[in-house]
Chain A
Amino acid sequence: MFGAGGGTSSYEEFHHTDLIVLWGSNARESHPIFFHHVLRGMQNGARLYVVDPRRSTSAQHAHLWLGLDVGTDIVLANAVGREIIAAGLVNREFVRRATLDFEAYQASVEPFTLEMAEELTGVPRDAIRQLAHDYARAPRAELSWTLGITEHHNAVDNVFALINLALLTGHVGRYGSGLNPVRGQNNVQGGGDMGALPNKFPGFEDVQNGTVRARYEAAWGRALPATNGWHLSQMFEAMDRGDMRALYIIGENPAQSEADSRRTERLLTGLDHLVVQDMFLTRTAELADVVLPSTASWCEAEGTVTSSERRVQRVRKALEPPPGTKGDLEILSLLAARLGFDWGMPAAEAVWDECRSLSPMHGGMAYHRLEALNGIQWPCPDEAHPGSPFLHGRLWDDPVGGAKAAFHPVRHDPPLDALSDEYPIRLTTGRRLDSYNTGVQSGRFSSPLRRPESLNLSPEDMRLLGVVEGERVAIASRRGRIEAPVHADSTLRPGLAFMTLHFPDQVSTNTLTLDAWDPQSGTAEFKATAIRVERLDSSDSLEASADAVNLKVGV
């Protein structure tokens, strides 16, 4: 945010803050050790607010749970902002000195009264008011979010809505006050940091900036394209148009992880050439023309990853990889050689040293320093720099160092997959503690917690539908229809259903989800699908079990 894509605080600051808001985050299960820091803060006196449609295990630890309807985050955030303004709790000095466009923001939130927000979000107005007043009055406050905010068609607007609250109250740029997206995957932060974004070089410098581009062109001895590339969702659209005919995938399983999986599979199989580099023969790899078996980057190779607190950390080789596999770096070097570019066979450290010679914010992160300091938090421009535990302290300088932070007014835009009489139930997706994404990693250990995939429903909806625990039902969305057993889940309110993406071979949840994506970030709306639950015709079920019996006895 404000130009750099990373959380502004360190985990340790959660020990020394007064208020913690987890918004669209079930950190207790999705980021358990981050939640330890939240718990430590609570032991030291911090209050915890959790904003989540489900009364998740995180919400169960909270002082107050705000159970909003899926996709109404902007309504809630704007109402909180309006209430802070109306109650005279704006940090006027900070807003005047460090921000821009407050008036436009104030005008944009004016319609979001507590009454209107209660009606649209389902959260009682007193709870909204309490969050607004406590957040604004807290001496220090940390606001943290995860995929509940970003897996929507208007993900970036959702994030702006939260940033606006921090600007309003001055809860950013100070020890114990910050804005923190906690990353869902081990090196998502590092992927962005390293320029695995269609518009950025390493260190979040713009591809379209001629000065920056010239630096890379000088180092690499050739001209670089001045235009942004495509992000994932744009690539799938290009495949659909036939503009993109070949694809090289490294360490991803889009055939199962992408929304609307039937469309994804059709597009992948329609390519002229598909290369998949992965340590598993995933469903995606099964579709490929060429599979390049790679090693496990976290324990069979050397390198670095970056965590959600911007900490660049070393990963190291602990195991000899299985025969027939090669490290990602080795594969890329060999591929370059085949294409006529002899890079030799550089070690990970040499590649890293090249990176930090080009990306200013990584300049001081030599391997020996990463080892000595348990990792370093960017920015770290030179080897005398200790790294940066929190960002944007400049906003508290007088006058402000660098550009002021602008408010971004955002409007409410409900989920695209609207509820209707035909599809009356809102399905949202998420993680379980012992599982991870499509299960290719987490499905291989003997977890006593693991249950088969299920359609989680509120006990009220189960009674209404006349279904019982374990009963197999059909789940239909506007894109597809699947079957799964029902599981009673008291963390859900009536009208809300929950599934995971962990067991795509059992239940293909992404057959239901919508591939609508946010034009600003490219993230898909996994969190909001309209579904209908149908009892399977009881005679069908009987026939099915009769078939099973017949098969068993061999007739």
Chain B
Amino acid sequence: MAAVRPMTRTDGAFPERSVRATIDGRAVTVPEGTTILAACRAEGTEVPTLCFLENLAPVNVCRACVVEVEGSRALVPACSRPLEADMVVSTRSERVDHSRRMVLELLASSVDMSLAGPDLERWLEEYGADPARHGPLAPTGADRQARAGRHGSVAGEARATLDQPVTIDNELYVRDYSRCILCYKCVEACGDQAQHTFAIAVAGRGFDAHIATEFDVALPDSACVYCGNCVAVCPTGALMFKSEYDLRQADDWDASRQTVTDTICPYCGVGCTLELHVQDNRIVKVTSPMDHEVTHGHLCVKGRFGFDFVHVPPPGAEDTRR
């Protein structure tokens, strides 16, 4: 993970002066333009985030980072709101905790968050989220799949979920939208925050909102160029490299057996830093550091996926490393 940049700003301009404000009763001084989130992190105060990422502009959709600002009618998103002079911010009021509990509980009631990481598990507990009170999970199997993306069909009997089959339509990455929390990070990375390919967007409204290619076509028929930058920013495992997915399906994905080594991409002359995730002497995933000034965490299809040539193929296959 990238180191937190305490001076994260939203406008790209140079700081002109300092701002004094109060966060949780403590006086803080930050350069003008610093967000509330960045100020909190610089102070060591945790604010939960789901849709925020250091290398993307805030989209303000998850509402997990809301804080209370004195004099403000609504709770404000800490990720995008700059700290203003004399602002009095409370990161843990009853209102804030209640709002975060609702966000986390509703997400956990409908989305498979089992790969969303230890922070999320901790927050669910810390904020007292109780997804089960929305009813039992619908039974697995064909019945669940038939209601993919739908809700209300058995209202009151089982809670609505996003449960649906995993979409596997290419050999590079898979899409498991039963894990999707609609944080928009993939859309932003595919769009004007990095890749400018615009292969995906949010389609539908309300509970039926989902990430889709144009007309929901399969990836090979879409504008996708397989840079994998969407996969790299996905926080819940909804987008997953096929290499990782296959190992998980075989119950053979084991982070404790993995090493991560920084090196430089072997293709063109731009010099992108690759983080090679290696398990049992095979590359199982390639990422790039988000705080690196060359890549900002983004790669192209060759750097991300073009590593198979170094692997000795299994017996029987054509040996490329003779």
Given known A-B contacts A299-B310, A433-B301, A436-B302, A36 and B296 have beta carbons under 8 A apart: yes
Given known A-B contacts A183-B269, A305-B264, A319-B278, A444 and B320 have beta carbons under 8 A apart: yes
Task: Tell yes or no: A420 within 8 A of B by CB.
Answer: no
* A-chain residues with CB within 8 Å of residue B270 when the two chains form the complex: 11, 31-34, 182, 307-308
Given known A-B contacts A31-B268, A33-B300, A322-B312, A448 and B262 have beta carbons under 8 A apart: no
Query: CB distance A298 to B305 under 8 Å?
Result: no
Query: CB distance A11 to B294 under 8 Å?
Result: yes
A442 to B272, CA, bound (A): 16
* B-chain residues with CB within 8 Å of residue A444 when the two chains form the complex: 306, 308-309, 320
Task: Tell yes or no: A518 within 8 A of B by CB.
Answer: no
**Which parts of B189-239 form the interface with A (CB within 8 Å)?**
192, 194-196, 219-220, 224-227
Question: What is the chain B residue whose CB lies nearest that of A296?
Answer: B310
Task: Tell yes or no: A461 within 8 A of B by CB.
Answer: no
A63 to B124, CA, bound (A): 49
B292: min CB distance to chain A, Å = 6
* B-chain residues with CB within 8 Å of residue A318 when the two chains form the complex: 259, 261, 263, 276, 278, 283
Query: Which of these, B219, B271, B283, B322, contacts A319 with CB under 8 Å?
Result: B283
Query: How many residues does chain B have at the interface if contact means C-beta atoms less than 8 Å apart?
Result: 54
Query: CB distance B170 to A448 under 8 Å?
Result: yes
B267: min CB distance to chain A, Å = 5
Task: Tell yes or no: A375 within 8 A of B by CB.
Answer: yes
**Which parts of A423-456 form the interface with B (CB within 8 Å)?**
433-434, 436, 440-449
Give the segment of A154-162, A227-235, A309-317 that binds chain B. Answer: A309-317
Binary A-proximity of B275-315 (CB < 8 A = 1, otherwise 0): 01010011100000000111110111111011111101000
* B-chain residues with CB within 8 Å of residue A307 when the two chains form the complex: 264, 269-271, 294
A190 to B292, CA, bound (A): 20
Query: Which of these, A298, A306, A322, A445, contacts B263 with CB under 8 Å?
Result: A298
Question: 9 shortest A-B CB distances, which residue pairs?
Answer: A307-B271, A183-B269, A446-B171, A32-B300, A318-B261, A444-B309, A298-B266, A318-B276, A445-B308
Q: Most B CB atoms within 10 A — which of A185, A316, A445?
A: A445
Task: Tell yes or no: A300 within 8 A of B by CB.
Answer: yes
A311: min CB distance to chain B, Å = 6
Query: CB distance A314 to B196 under 8 Å?
Result: no
* B-chain residues with CB within 8 Å of residue A31 when the two chains form the complex: 268-270
A43 to B11, CA, bound (A): 12
Task: Tell yes or no: A243 within 8 A of B by CB.
Answer: no
Q: Which residues of A approach B to under 8 Å, CB–CB? A: 11-12, 30-34, 36, 39, 43-44, 61, 182-189, 279-281, 293, 296-300, 305-309, 311, 313-320, 322, 325, 374-375, 433-434, 436, 440-449
Query: CB distance A447 to B226 under 8 Å?
Result: yes
B231: min CB distance to chain A, Å = 14
Task: Tell yes or no: B273 within 8 A of A by CB.
Answer: yes
Interface of A is mostly: loop
* A-chain residues with CB within 8 Å of residue B296 when the two chains form the complex: 36
* A-chain residues with CB within 8 Å of residue B322 when the two chains form the complex: 280-281, 293
**Could you jot down 30 A-B contacts, CB within 8 Å?**
A31-B270, A36-B195, A36-B298, A39-B196, A185-B268, A186-B264, A186-B268, A186-B269, A189-B269, A279-B310, A279-B321, A280-B309, A296-B310, A299-B276, A306-B271, A307-B264, A307-B270, A309-B294, A313-B264, A313-B273, A314-B263, A374-B292, A433-B225, A436-B306, A441-B306, A442-B302, A445-B305, A447-B306, A448-B170, A449-B301
A316 to B321, CA, bound (A): 20
B116: min CB distance to chain A, Å = 27
Q: A298-B266, A309-B271 are in contact. List 5 more A-B contacts (CB 8 A).
A: A33-B272, A298-B265, A307-B269, A309-B294, A433-B225
A6: min CB distance to chain B, Å = 11
* A-chain residues with CB within 8 Å of residue B294 when the two chains form the complex: 11, 33, 307, 309, 311, 374
Query: CB distance B321 to A375 under 8 Å?
Result: no
Query: CB distance A433 to B300 under 8 Å?
Result: yes
A317 to B300, CA, bound (A): 22
Given known A-B contacts A434-B302, A441-B309, A299 and B263 have beta carbons under 8 A apart: yes
Query: Which of these, A314, A322, A436, contacts B321 with CB under 8 Å?
Result: A322
Q: Most A CB atoms within 10 A — which of B265, B298, B300, B320?
A: B300
Query: CB distance B266 to A12 under 8 Å?
Result: no
Question: What is the chain B residue whose CB lies nearest that of A42?
Answer: B196
A189 to B320, CA, bound (A): 28
Q: Most B CB atoms within 10 A — which of A33, A297, A442?
A: A33
Question: What is the chain A residue whose CB lies nearest that of B292?
Answer: A374
A368 to B301, CA, bound (A): 31
Query: CB distance B192 to A43 under 8 Å?
Result: yes
A439: min CB distance to chain B, Å = 10
* B-chain residues with CB within 8 Å of residue A440 when the two chains form the complex: 309
Query: CB distance B194 to A36 under 8 Å?
Result: yes
Task: Tell yes or no: B172 within 8 A of A by CB.
Answer: yes
Query: CB distance B312 to A280 under 8 Å?
Result: no
Query: Which of these, B225, B266, B298, contacts A449 with CB under 8 Å?
Result: B225
Question: What is the chain A residue whose CB lies nearest that of B313?
Answer: A444
* B-chain residues with CB within 8 Å of residue A319 when the two chains form the complex: 276, 278, 281-283, 310
* A-chain residues with CB within 8 Å of residue B308 when the two chains form the complex: 444-446
A381 to B170, CA, bound (A): 49
A86: min CB distance to chain B, Å = 37
B290: min CB distance to chain A, Å = 13
Query: CB distance B266 to A441 under 8 Å?
Result: yes
* B-chain residues with CB within 8 Å of residue A442 when the two chains form the complex: 267, 302, 306, 309
Query: CB distance A441 to B267 under 8 Å?
Result: yes
Query: CB distance A445 to B261 under 8 Å?
Result: no
* A-chain residues with CB within 8 Å of residue B266 when the two chains form the complex: 186, 296-299, 441
* A-chain residues with CB within 8 Å of residue B261 when the two chains form the complex: 299, 316-318
Query: CB distance A184 to B269 under 8 Å?
Result: yes
